[in-house]
Chains A and B, each alone.
Chain A
Amino acid sequence: MNTQLLLIQVFNGLVNGAFYALLSLGLAVIFGMLRIVNFMHGALYMLGAFTAFALGQAFGLGFWPSLILAPILVGLLGMVLERTLLSRLYGLDPSYNLLLTFGLTLLTQDLVKQFMLSHYAVSSAPYTPPAALAGVVNLGFVVFPKYRLFVIVLSLVICLLTWFIIEKTRVGAIIRASTENPTVTRAFGINVSKWVTGVFGVGVGLAGLAGVLAAPIYSVEPYMGAELIITTFAVVVIGGLGSILGSVITGFAVGVLAAVGSALYPPIANTLVFILMALVLLVRPSGLFGLPEGAK
């Protein structure tokens, strides 16, 4: 493979990287703050895509309004689930919330499938990029879809914004305090459980956002999150569980690596990330950006 082709694939890999980054960012926020391993993240990503489709069908809303509305709706659903179900499992072994979120995943997938079949007679939904971003642009070294460039830029902005809020602002300070020492934080008059619900909603909303962004690129079908979530978990592990910066950087890096890998030797494309995960775990068990247990 020549240098130009390699460059093209590096560039192309940033698109998938953007999805990995957005999804693992949500997982990292939720795990870092709340210690919940949210296995339902893939299903919520799928719900983001389907909500965008449904909003279009029911209210004629195009891509842009859906890009704002669908993540909010998915985030609200997440908050309801956190209040009614997940909150009952705090303090129990993490495997309980893993089982719960896994069960919710199966339920969501089947409900969406049944809904689609009964309303639209197909279980996969058509969705095209907005008119302003349709078509391709010649970048000189490659002809690339405009929409994919937009995905790279937008997800970079969102990732930086999230990182900034959590690390550099007062809101972020409260969130971090609420999760590191809830008792002391409560003593300062802060309603910790409300913050927890809010953080979960935002993390899940990020998955919904990724789903809307994915709708014009990938087939919108009930199981679209199932494959992706496994890679995303690998990204989170490589980056370091709960590390926000780690998940963003690793997300983009894994996307690039997989794209280059699949161009060089296609059969390895899907395995590459797991090989990387195994290697990283051998050398740094807490992940590239994770702090070793007890360091906090």
Chain B
Amino acid sequence: MQKKTLSALVATAALAAVTGALAQSVKLSDNVVKVGVLTDLSGVYSELSGQGSVKAAQMAADDFMAANPAFRGKVQVIGVDHQNKADVASNKAAEMIDRQNVDMLVDMPTSSAALAASEVAKNKKVVAMVVTGGTTALTNEKCNKYTFHYAYDNYMLANGTGSAVTKRGGKTWYIIYPNYAFGQDLNRQMTAAIQENGGKLVAPSDATPFPNTDFSSYLLKAQGLKPKIFGTMQAGADLVNVVKQYNEFGLKNQGIGLGIGLLFETDVAALGQDAFAGAIATVPWFWNLDARSRVWAAKFEKAFGKKPTWAQAGVYSATMTYLQAVARAKTDDSDAVVKALEGYSFDDFFARNATIRPQDHRVILDVHTVQVKPKAQAKEAGDIFTRVSTIPAAKAFMPLSESKCKM
């Protein structure tokens, strides 16, 4: 009994000493590091990010605290719904920073919402790590000192898929894209990537209304044009409609392949993977990429009940990278953290051979072109991608020479 009390005393004293050491060596504003997951909790992107992103950030916080005793109990995560609207994203970001003392924002699906939140982060000097928003504007004309762009962007998608498909013999393309910022940007990038690899467009790309359900006119046009590849820059529900009708019109049997700009695991699940079978896309990660990925994915599935999407895995990685920068800087002061992030090279289960470019805050990493497997080849539920090739970090993203970023 006495022995037990004594050891408890010693333990308490030791803990106090550690905490005391933390107080001296790590300077945290209001004594906590607070991570704000700004995401879509109810709308079209809630399945691919949403609650799963909040869970992923929480897992990163827990793992970080377990590995860094000095931070035990000092990292908090909150999730907020921005409804994919720029004005709501802007208000919520400001509110989280001003009223809840958030030190860092992460996730941010929908390009317009990501741009709005990034603007708030800049003005309030808080680190923002955009994972799910795709526009290249974040690291070009709209770049700023506090915003980092993680996981993917439109240039990387176009460069990956456009090159891979063209090199595999898809020399002639006909492209349709949704008529708003994301689609226009992706169409431009994709066209450039195809031409650079010796391919060409058989007709000018068509801008389709957004959102749109019926794509039969464009599929009939493709029948007449007979390109090797029918390229679609649609995303989410629109993409599901395009692919459903692509199959309905039997284009594959007419020798017209499918090229997809942006693909999430949830789109494949919505339609069944046979409908997508053979399609090529570019992703930064997928859960059964390799052993390291599978270990993390199993942990996530146990905690969340579903396999992670690459967006959710990216949120974990981004949150962890930020927290480790706080640990290196020994403070959550954003200017010091930004300094610790810039130029940092790292390698985790998600981001391979990753470097944070100081000039434009683009996080570059190895990315993968993948092909959707037919259901018959899937070894288990959610086994949808076969890796076609890996594009090394240095070649996957927009070269600095092309960047319009002035920081």
Contact = CB atoms under 8 A, between A and B. Distances in A.
Contacts of B270: 122-126, 219, 221
A221 B248 contact: no
Interface string A263-284: 1001101100000000000000
Looking at chain B's contact residues, the main secondary structure is: helix
Contact of B241 (A5, A218, A269): A218
Interface in B291-313: 306
B393 interface: no
Q: Interface centre among A126, A135, A147, A148, by most B CB within 10 Å? A: A126
A8 B254 CA distance: 17
Interface stretch (B192-200, B218-226, B328-336): B218-226
B269 A122 contact: yes
A157 interface: no
Contacts of B218: 262, 266
Contacts of A129: 248
A262 B216 CA distance: 10
A12 B224 CA distance: 14
Interface string B7-49: 0000000000000000000000000000000000000000100
Contact-residue bracket for chain B: 20 to 34
Contacts of B220: 8-9, 12, 142, 263
Given A129-B248, A145-B249, A219 B207 contact: no
Contact-residue bracket for chain A: 35 or more
A246 to B, nearest CB: 23
Interface string B62-103: 000000000000000000000000000000000000000000
Given A142-B220, A267-B209, A221 B237 contact: yes
B237 A219 contact: yes
Interface of A: 5, 8-9, 12, 15-16, 117, 121-126, 129, 135-136, 142-145, 147-148, 216-219, 221, 223-224, 227-228, 259, 262-263, 266-267, 269-270
13 contacts: A8-B220, A9-B220, A12-B217, A121-B269, A126-B270, A126-B272, A136-B253, A143-B250, A219-B244, A266-B179, A266-B208, A267-B179, A269-B209
Q: Which 3 A-B pairs have the closest CB atoms?
A: A124-B270, A136-B250, A219-B240
